[in-house]
Amino acid sequence: MNLGYLNLFIKKLVNKLGYPRIIVSKTLGWSLNEKEVKRQMYKKKNVTTIVIVVMILTAMTAMVMLASAAPDGISEYAVIKKAYSWLGVSYEYGGESKNGVDCSGLVRQVYMQSNVYQTYYYDRTAEEIRQASYPVWPPRPGDVVIFVDKDSGICTHVGIYIGPSYYGYWDSYFIHAGTLPGEVVEDRLYYSPYYGTGWWYSNFDIYFARYNPDYYIS
């Protein structure tokens, strides 16, 4: 989606409605000059128009963010929502159901259940999921967190990226099925409440990855 044309459209819209002081940002999203909006609202006594403008700006902002952020064929909101629905499910090696699931089974099931284009990981193991993905930076919600064992060089764990913590990407939140908590939990990469501070980085090379639909095209 071309943000330049969208910005121009919004500017023309709000100017036509008589509110030229509404600010359209140059990046994602828009913000309102609150004082000016209130002043004109009281001046024109047109609350309905103000509400309509705000609703249009909010809706179009959401559309732009989804269009620019969601993985191809997959809604990041759907992935995150589905991942959270698995919290508390018991860990079971080889499991892929709410009766028990492991790390790769969780990623595969969440992707299968959260998209409408049959775009998901066909492979089962963490290493196979790694091979069917490509590294990304910066990550976005719904991406996969890849944990490569420092000794073997093989991906032995995967999780679903949620977002950065207060400290940044290096301490990001992610959802995974782990043996130590024994269930699906929301964890942190550095200040892990389950494995201890720095444990993940001490044992794994960690990076963020995204589903690669071309991987399965023969």
Q: What is the pLDDT of residue 165?
A: 95
- Express each pLDDT in 159-202 by its tens digit: 999 999 999 999 999 999 999 889 999 999 999 999 999 999 99
- Pick the residue with more confidence: 70 or 146? 146
Q: What is the pLDDT of residue 67?
A: 40
- Pick the residue with more confidence: 52 or 94? 94
DSSP string, the chain: --HHHHHHHHHHHHHHTT-TT-EE-SSSSEE--HHHHHHHHHHHT-HHHHHHHHHHHHHHHHHHHHHHHSPTTB-HHHHHHHHHTTTTPBB-TT-EETTEE-HHHHHHHHHHHSBSS--S----SHHHHHHTEEE-SS--TTPEEEEEETTT-SEEEEEEEEEEETTEEEEEEEEEE-TTT-BEEEEESSEETTTEETHHHHHEEEEEEEE-GGGG--
Q: What is the pLDDT of residue 170?
A: 95
- Pick the residue with more confidence: 115 or 54? 115
Q: Model's pTM, two decimal places? A: 0.66
- Pick the residue with more confidence: 168 or 12? 168
Q: What is the pLDDT of residue 215?
A: 78
Q: What is the pLDDT of residue 114?
A: 84
